[in-house]
Amino acid sequence: MSLPIAMGWRHLLFANWPVDPAVVAERLPDSLSVETSNGRAWLSVVPYLNVDVRPRGVPAAAGVDLPELNLRTYVSRDGEPGVYFFSLDAAGALGVVGARLFHRLPYYYADIEIAATDGGIAFTSERRHPGAAPARFVGTYEPVGDSFTPDPGSLAAFLTEHYRYYTTARDGTLRYADIDHEPWTLRAATATVETNTLFEANGFEPPAGSPVCYYSRGVDIASSRNRQWE
């Protein structure tokens, strides 16, 4: 059984590409429906740093820091919206094993470096997980413009304000966890992506065009345990 967890998410880039909903639907479990905004499904690449990762109730000082990179989309089940992860690459072999075993999330071990630049963040990830499809990401990103809280119903809210994730266990059962955090404070962002093979690693053709990008300094989150959908 999974444990509820707490952590902080820091220096996030949300790089979001609009795609045909049918492209996403064919990669989802039958139990989930594609959520759309402006008539389009969205695939999002999200690099960031997890800080103070620990079981809920344990002091933050006892937690660990783990950089992460994920590819996700937006779904619903019986009207309950959430995020669906196609893959999550993370540093820290023990954390990856624990997330796969107890939270049924598709984590993969990777060598990841995250560093501050003049005004932004440099992020490099190289998947090292045995037997997994290769995946590499190299890019830099930085915020521009004023900070804002997304308006309800806006594209920015659709791409960031989700409080549940869905995943599937090896036996095909649908599972989920609820996430609690303060509303996001965002800024528009510029991103220079030198390499990104996450789409190919997950069976997608790379989307055309430039992504819609947002940056956040982060939020602190608390997650419920991972539960089977009844």
CATH of domain 5-223: 2.40.400.10
pLDDT tens figures, 41-84? 999 999 999 999 888 889 988 888 889 999 999 999 999 999 99
Separation of alpha carbons 10 and 22, rounded Å: 32
Separation of alpha carbons 66 and 201, rounded Å: 22
CA nearest to 71, candidates 26, 136, 129: 136
Matching residue, tokens 């967890």: 5
Report whether 52 contacts 63 (CB < 8 A).
Answer: yes
Does residue 107 carry a pLDDT above 80?
Answer: yes
* 60 contacts: CB under 8 Å, gap ≥ 6: 6, 8, 52, 54
pLDDT score of 69: 97
CA atoms in the 13 A half-sphere facing the CB of 20: 7
Token digits for 100?
């796969």
pLDDT tens figures, 112-123? 999 999 889 999
How many helices (H) and strands (E) would you count in the chain?
A: 4, 13
State the DSSP H helix or E strand holding residue 220, giving kind and residue range, or none if neither: strand 212-223
Report whether 21 contacts 40 (CB < 8 A).
Answer: yes
CA nearest to 191, candidates 215, 171, 172: 215
Does residue 97 carry a pLDDT above 70?
Answer: no
Token digits for 123?
């992020």
Does residue 226 carry a pLDDT above 60?
Answer: yes
* Domain residue ranges of the chain, discontinuous segments joined by +: 5-223
First to last CA, the chain: 16
- Give this prediction's pTM: 0.94
Q: Who has greater pLDDT, 172 or 103? A: 172
Matching residue, tokens 């990008």: 213
Does residue 211 carry a pLDDT above 60?
Answer: yes
CA nearest to 83, candidates 181, 170, 209: 181
